[in-house]
Amino acid sequence: MKTNAFEAVAKYVYPSLRRRLVEILREKGLSQIQIAGLLYITQSAVSRYLRMNRGALIEVEKFPDIDEKLKRLAEIIMKEKPDEYYIHGELVKIAVEMLGKGYVCSFHSKVDPGIDPKLCRICIETFG
């Protein structure tokens, strides 16, 4: 195992969750500048997420339960405008949930062919 689960989350899962959150906020009619302000990121980062130049390796919308959590988070962000620590914490919780449900296993084995998802149960047993 050259790439552990935390590295995979930091490099691929978290950015993909953030990308999907940006998409959801955009679908709700917010401008890139509004999204950037709400998420405490730059407008340039929002643009890269929307152009699929960042966070595009995992199609989060393929996991309906995770996508629903991101939609609820988007509603909270729009209504309550929480601070960046709250948003980060919620994204980390969602990422950990993805690990616990085994959603990251096949992707992890693609970025690190030394991983055998049939043998590795670390994330499911630790976070599931």
Amino acid at 107: F
At 121, is the pLDDT very low, low, confident or very high (cuts 50, 70, 90)? confident
List the chain domain ranges: 5-127
The answer to whether residue 1 scores a pLDDT higher than 80 is: no
pLDDT for position 27: 98
The answer to whether residue 87 scores a pLDDT higher than 90 is: yes
pLDDT tens digit sequence for 26-76: 999 999 999 999 999 999 999 999 999 888 889 999 999 999 999 999 999
Structure tokens at 30: 């917010």
pLDDT for position 61: 95
Average pLDDT, the chain: 94
